[in-house]
Amino acid sequence: MTTPADVLKLAKENGVKIVDIKFSDLPGTWQHFSVPVHVLTEDLFEDGLPFDGSSVRGFQHINESDMLIIPDANTAFLDPFTAVPTLSLTCNIFHPQDKRPYSRDPRYIAQKAEEYLRSTGIADTAYFGPEAEFYIFDNVRYASTDNKQYAEVDSVEAAWNTEGFEGGRSLGHLMTVKGGYFPVAPNDTYQDLRTEMVLNLEALGIKVEAHHHEVGAAGQCEIDYRFGTLVDTADKLLLFKYVIKNTARKYGKSVTFMPKPVYGDNGSGMHTHQSLWKDEKPLFFDKDGYAHLSKMARHYVAGILSHAPALLAIAAPSTNSYKRLVPGYEAPVNLVFSQGNRSAAVRIPVSENPKAKRIEFRPPDPTANPYLLFAALLMAGLDGVRRELEPSEYGFGPVDKDLFSMTPEELSEISSVPGSLDESLKALENDHAFLLEGDVFTPDVLEKYIELKREQAAAVRLRPAPIEFSMYYDA
């Protein structure tokens, strides 16, 4: 544990001039403001700083905008991307009058989820391991105005650049569509850039396990880092995205974590691995169970699958998410579990090691707020454990047959994830009691979250898409 005194010492030893105050808005994007280093005192970690929360997405109205932000000493790091020595701190949000935690602070919701887990006696630790895929582009342009709707991305690796692209030229060695998995240089042009990303991550305490090019031929990549506890992993995911984006920016590249930025090629997901432990012992392993899953793990899986339509509003929270989650492609849309099928919503990674036994929920993507996502998945899983749900009783598998070889009649018996953000939001409205257990989520959080997401869905629905001009202009 890092103490406030440790943070002050770190700042002094490194000549820090500025302290950056970071927090998450309700959709899950880091926000920040900065203060001179003389504001950094031990009292700061107790008294906090006042700020205006009325312009933060999902927070307060203008008539109740005063809020308090208090940093967590455990999150301190030296920012590698600033010109002036800068110390960064992740914070929690409070009401200034009585220092009451703010119900819509995503980090507080995640903290409550961990507390609720311990209170159940089922387990004392939940581990999460997200795999956030992303695209690296050499150029990106987009606009949405009254008379203009377009988006254009470019990648030096993409097959469409056989004749070169503006500001560059083709030297061959381009990737075919969906041909980006594990090629060596010169096809994979991002080895050195990903390596620098990895070194930056490791310098900030994020232990990386592997990095590689992903299937998407226009610069899709993946960097996997070690799993951790719920709040800590959510903290690190926001730091991960910050490091990836800013390392790319240093070299004139642009990174996006949006789920489907390129038509016809693979989308970017965030497969989320989970396991429960108690007294430092894993609880999801049973050598005699299907895929070596324990009874508790099966109950946990059933909880997630039974609440999956509602969970998708948090796990796949953008309109763009559902351009990735399309039946008939290699997308995890089928509400079953399997030790082999990657199009199953829940996959059980093969392992004989009890400590490595986990379940993997595959529909999420990196637009999800990690604090809300991990908390919601834990609450759904615990609901299944409490009620002793069995996946087979609800038609959720296991299914080991190749889902792509199934007949339409066979597939019709397997439920799928919702087909749009609107459908997922409706499911969340109808199924959210499990999130309210232990006061982890509160009604005002869900109401505000749904309101924000409905506004996004409406904004997309109202705008003509470029393909509509191709289809209907000459009608």
pLDDT in tens, 21-61: 999 999 999 999 999 999 999 999 999 999 998 889 999 77
pLDDT(273) > 90: yes
pLDDT of residue 165: 59
What is the pLDDT confidence band of residue 324, given thresholds at 50, 70 and 90?
very high
For the stretch 124-161, pLDDT in tens is 999 999 999 999 999 999 999 999 999 999 988 888 87
What's the pTM?
0.95
pLDDT(437) > 90: yes
- Retrieve residue 128's tokens: 């999460």
- Retrieve residue 141's tokens: 């342009």
pLDDT of residue 186: 78
Report whether 274 belongs to an annotated binding site. yes
Report whether 266 belongs to an annotated binding site. yes
| Strands 254-256, 125-137: pairing kind | antiparallel
Residues in Cβ contact with 373 at an 8 Å cutoff, skipping those fewer than 6 apart: 234, 272, 314, 315, 364
pLDDT of residue 321: 97
Closest by CA to 138, choosing from 165, 120, 163, is: 165
Rounded CA separation 365/58 (Å): 20
**Any idea which residues carry the catalytic annotation?**
52, 131, 133, 214, 222, 271, 342, 360, 362
Report whether 360 belongs to an annotated binding site. yes
pLDDT of residue 253: 96
pLDDT(174) > 80: no
What type of residue is 456? Q
Report whether 133 belongs to an annotated binding site. yes
* Residue range(s) occupied by CATH 3.30.590.10 in the chain: 125-472
Residues in Cβ contact with 196 at an 8 Å cutoff, skipping those fewer than 6 apart: 247
By CB neighbour count within 10 A (0-12 exposed, 13-18 middle, 19+ buried), where does 172 fall? exposed
pLDDT(167) > 70: no
pLDDT of residue 185: 76
Identify the weakest region by mean pLDDT among 125-134, 168-177, 326-335: 168-177
Report whether 169 belongs to an annotated binding site. no
Q: What 3-state DSSP class applies to 164?
A: coil
* Residue range(s) occupied by CATH 3.10.20.70 in the chain: 4-102
Report whether 92 belongs to an annotated binding site. no
| Mean of per-residue pLDDT scores for the chain | 92
pLDDT(372) > 80: yes
Rounded CA separation 204/413 (Å): 47
Class of domain 125-472: alpha beta
Q: Give, in degrees to the nearest 5, the angle at Cα 157 between 155 and 160.
A: 75
What type of residue is 464? P
Closest by CA to 154, choosing from 143, 170, 173, 172, is: 170
Report whether 429 belongs to an annotated binding site. no
- Supply the DSSP string of 178-232, one letter for each residue: T--SSPPTTT---HHHHHHHHHHHHHTT--EEEEEE-S-TTTEEEEEE--EEHHH
Report whether 275 belongs to an annotated binding site. yes
User: What architecture does CATH give domain 4-102?
Assistant: Roll (3.10)
